[in-house]
Amino acid sequence: MSAVTALGIDLATTPFSRRGSYFAVSHVTDQRESGLHLRTVRGDARHREIVRLLLDDSAEATSHTTAGRLTLQRDGTRAEVVLDGPDRACVRVQGGTLTLDFRTASQYDSVLQESERTWRFIDSGANRNYRIRVLGGTPRFDARWDGTRNSRARVRIDAAHDTATIVIDEYGSAVPTRPVEHPDVVAAAAQRDFDAWCRTHGGEACDDPEIGGTVRLAAFVTWAALVPAGGALRRESMLMSKNRMTNVWSWDHCFNAMALWRDPHAAAGQLLAVFDHQDAHGCLPDYVNDAGVERNFVKPPIHGWAVAHLMDRGGLDDDMVEALYDPLRRWTEWWFEHRVYGDDGVPSYNHGNDSGWDNATTFGVAVPVQSPDLLAYLALQMETLARIAGRRGRDDEATAWTRRADDTVRILCDRFWNGDRFVARSTLTGRVIDSESLLTFMPLVLGDRLPLSTREATVRRLLDGGYLTPHGPATEPPDSPHYEPDGYWRGPIWAPSTLLLVDGLRRSGRPGLADDIADRFLATCGGAGMAENFDALTGAGLRDRSMTWTASVYLSLVSERAGHASHAEGRLRARAS
């Protein structure tokens, strides 16, 4: 793979950023003035757009993206953007003019001139300050002061006869003082880092002529979303996106960790990014970012499933597996100690957000809800705890966890299987909730732990119920009265539900169906990119169009497909010999 391979990305969907940076460049269309914007992805930013970039006074320009450099072109004017560290952006311009159009959206925003070539932007909306230095070229400042604020402020740099470099530093109270490196040096270092990342986590598929471009896009989305330790983040962490979803949610991070199985240190880091914030009761937060932690909601306990997945692939070293035992145990017990509201011992979701399926029809009437997926995840988590305990020589604990897992599956089948399908129930009344949501199929993640007749009936309903579209499994069947093409968890196809189903079907002895669903999803990503979710009937990307868990699931499924092909070739060679 060439060090200068172009990435075929659309800045309107996939931001230009890089590992370790809190800056991103996007083509923004949902603001009062559209165009290319330098943005911040800090967790406490109330307004992310910092400056609009105008080439020769135009908001439009063609773009060419590599991992280390964004090149913008309009006629004879060329601007190159590189990102250096967490808080510095450099723009090199030549051949014409570049205007920095400050996004002074708040009444408290102001741009002041510090010297002939230096300005400071007090950006209260972004909750940060920015220092702008112009090296070379001829700058001109144009601003309007309305008594208390700048309602307009621009710096126009003429580089028609002299290449100019604009250095933009983000800071709190002290401006970064490190030397300015040459943009080519910065870009080359970023490119080398990405190439190594792509080779590691994309594997041989990076060179596949059919899917290599999509593999590189998925690798870029994950790599570019990494931010450094700092603030509430205690280690390098992968945000869900550098568009709007700029947090690490407490089940999304599991899928990101699973995609990094070839690098156990990196995989462990993504798991621990959330476990770092487990509270005294064992609860994991809803999400974390550099600015803080959100605890009003939680997310489903798929962590044991994810850890087992990584263990099966050598994706966690022995010390890390043992270190995860107590956090997993406490997280499991929390559900039974703090989310059981009656005497049946079954935990509940307080809101759709707790399940990760925010507005699924299982939550359409009232909460709290007892949903069958929750018991399935907890049973898998108990099995993982039993497995780790056995590795540690704690046979009594392993036996106890295995017994609890068996009991949990038994309760799931006794209480939530109605003879034809799994159902969700109102916690307070015990009544069955009228819902066709794909959420009720998630017990399939138990694989062959479910009784054979239950598995077969559930798979038959999946196939006969209209859920499986040409693009993957719809979260609400298209013929449901509650189906919405862009209805979030009421229709669109999502990466996490797809991977959970594929894994469960594979372990249910249905590898052909698992591969078929995986192939449909991979093809959808190949056509629409790494969107948050996809229209179930057209395959179009929806919502946030650059999501890491979609990219991570894509990489995981590509890896699984390559593994199966390798095993098949091995069997053929063995037969031939």
Question: Which pLDDT score, from 0 to 100, does residue 32 have?
Answer: 80
Question: Which pLDDT score, from 0 to 100, does residue 5 have?
Answer: 80
- Residue 577: pLDDT band (50, 70, 90) is very low
Asked whether residue 292 carries a pLDDT value surpassing 80, the answer given is yes
Asked whether residue 575 carries a pLDDT value surpassing 60, the answer given is no
Quick check: is 482 in a domain? yes
Q: What is the length of the chain?
A: 577
Question: Which pLDDT score, from 0 to 100, does residue 573 have?
Answer: 43
Percent of the chain with pLDDT over 70: 97
Start-to-end C-alpha separation, the chain: 34
Q: What is the mean pLDDT of residues 231-251?
A: 97
Choosing from 189, 223, 253, the residue where a domain stops is 189
Q: Check residue 313 and report its DSSP letter.
A: T
Quick check: is 128 in a domain? yes
The pLDDT tens digits of the residues spanning 535-552 come to 999 999 999 999 999 999
Question: Which pLDDT score, from 0 to 100, does residue 148 have?
Answer: 87
Quick check: is 447 in a domain? no
Question: Which pLDDT score, from 0 to 100, does residue 479 have?
Answer: 96
Question: Which pLDDT score, from 0 to 100, does residue 413 have?
Answer: 98
The β-bridge relationship of strands 533-534 and 541-542 is antiparallel
Question: Which pLDDT score, from 0 to 100, does residue 2 have?
Answer: 45
Quick check: is 123 in a domain? yes
CATH number at residue 65: 2.70.98
The pLDDT tens digits of the residues spanning 40-68 come to 999 999 999 999 999 999 999 999 999 99
Asked whether residue 565 carries a pLDDT value surpassing 60, the answer given is no
Question: Which pLDDT score, from 0 to 100, does residue 289 have?
Answer: 98
Quick check: is 50 in a domain? yes
Choosing from 158, 189, 220, the residue where a domain stops is 189
- DSSP result, 236-263: -EE-S-SSS--SEETTHHHHHHHHTTTS
Q: Compute the Cα dihedral for 277, 281, 284, 290 and give only its sign.
A: negative
Contacts of 115 (CB under 8 A, 6+ apart): none
- Residue 29: pLDDT band (50, 70, 90) is confident
The pLDDT tens digits of the residues spanning 141-158 come to 999 998 888 899 999 999
Percent of the chain with pLDDT over 90: 93
- Residue 564: pLDDT band (50, 70, 90) is low
Asked whether residue 576 carries a pLDDT value surpassing 70, the answer given is no
Q: Which helix (H) or strand (E) holds 113?
A: strand 110-115
Give the chain's domain count: 2
Asked whether residue 316 carries a pLDDT value surpassing 50, the answer given is yes
Range with the poorest average pLDDT among 1-15, 238-252, 274-288: 1-15
The β-bridge relationship of strands 468-469 and 425-426 is unpaired
The pLDDT tens digits of the residues spanning 88-134 come to 999 999 999 999 999 998 889 999 999 999 999 999 999 999 999 99
Asked whether residue 486 carries a pLDDT value surpassing 90, the answer given is yes
Q: What is the mean pLDDT of residues 495-508?
A: 97
Quick check: is 411 in a domain? no
Q: Tell me the C-alpha to C-alpha distance, in Å, between residue 315 and each of 192, 392, 543.
A: 24, 18, 31
Residue 179 belongs to what domain range? 23-189
434: its two tokens: 């009228």
The pLDDT tens digits of the residues spanning 458-471 come to 999 999 999 999 99
The residue behind tokens 């994309």 is 202
The pLDDT tens digits of the residues spanning 362-377 come to 999 999 999 999 999 9
Q: Compute the Cα dihedral for 227, 230, 232, 236 and give only its sign.
A: positive
Q: What is the mean pLDDT of residues 170-183?
A: 93
Question: Which pLDDT score, from 0 to 100, does residue 569 have?
Answer: 43
- Residue 4: pLDDT band (50, 70, 90) is low
The pLDDT tens digits of the residues spanning 414-469 come to 999 999 999 999 999 999 999 999 999 999 999 999 999 999 999 999 999 999 99
Quick check: is 514 in a domain? yes
Quick check: is 152 in a domain? yes
Q: What is the mean pLDDT of residues 240-258?
A: 97
Asked whether residue 567 carries a pLDDT value surpassing 80, the answer given is no
Question: Which pLDDT score, from 0 to 100, does residue 118 have?
Answer: 97
Choosing from 189, 207, 227, the residue where a domain stops is 189
